[in-house]
Amino acid sequence: MACMDLEMANEFRNLLDRDDLPEMIMEYDTTFNLGNYYVSWITFRFTEFMETEYSPMPTIGLACLIHLKKLQSSHEYFWNMVKEEIPEIASSKKLLICTDQEAAIVNAIERYVFPNIPRARCHIHAWKDQKMKLRSLGISSRSELAKYRSHFYELLHQKSYIEYCAVFRSFQRNSMNTEFATYFEKHIHPDMNSMGIWSLERYNVNYLLLTNRSESFNALLKRRFVKTRAYAEDEMILGSYEIVRRQLLRIKRARFGLGENWLLRRHLQHLYKLTDNTELGNIAICEEMDSIHIEEGKETEMVKYTICKMIS
């Protein structure tokens, strides 16, 4: 089952390929403990707001997939639904998709749905893959793993791809297990130029990407769905609808500086001035109406979602 709030889709569409905003990042991650199924969310950075140490750019939920098995066909179906609703993604020149290295996800996105959109690999998942390989080679002591982890993150924090290559060759010659060095060159090195900090400046990002930066979004899921594996699909849909509608209200409030810590970019602030009480009243009405609809849980309000059949 695939769900997307069409108003949020329109907000996303309005951020694409803007010359006055940083390039966009979408993230795709799967959570396992909400029900007897998987829930995969597409989230995105809302680039109208600034990225600061104390006020990070918000991560917003765009669409979710409820699926029983982790199949490539399920991810293809879902991403094709997103493509149908937001066809502008396919031709975007200022978009990056961050995922883990799960073959079903990578193949669905890169080969069949958005072959022309660059993809970055989550560094946490990349390190987990390396740690598994090291242990298979008998390198499992805490100090040895810490050394390899330190090397990996030192490589990621180089200032350029050229500097990364030079440091990698040094590690390869002097401190890497030969078999692991071969593994790294084949399975990790090809993704380093999209994972490294040097490659992320164009997205107004000065830290490494991870799919669970949607962790800030996953935290919303965990607060909404507090019981482990206890929710039916209809409860998941309604709860997800609630989260996305709340985020839409937060966006509207933050644009006008009303009680949110998301900081609107300076050059956009003149567009959202409360010159009278009209806009404030509109926000209050939207908030009240959404609260009523969410509390009542009416199926009729779910027309704002694109609801598709359950995928096995």
AA letter at 182: T
Q: Give residue 259's region: left, alpha or beta (phi > 0; psi -120 to 50).
A: left
DSSP-based three-state secondary structure for 175:
coil
The band of 206, judged by pLDDT with boundaries at 50, 70 and 90, is low
pLDDT of 259 strictly over 80: no
Q: Per-residue pLDDT averaged across 251-271, rounded?
A: 90
Q: Strands 2-4 and 95-99: what pairing?
A: unpaired
pLDDT digits (tens, 9 = 90+) for 6-44: 999 999 999 999 999 988 989 998 876 666 788 899 999
pLDDT digits (tens, 9 = 90+) for 45-64: 999 998 876 777 889 999 99
Q: Write the DSSP string, 13-54.
A: HHHTT-TTSPPEEEEEEEEEEEESEEEEEEEEE-TTB---SS
Confidence (pTM) = 0.77
CA distance 90 to 106: 16
pLDDT at 183: 95
Domains in the chain: boundaries? 2-122+209-304, 127-190
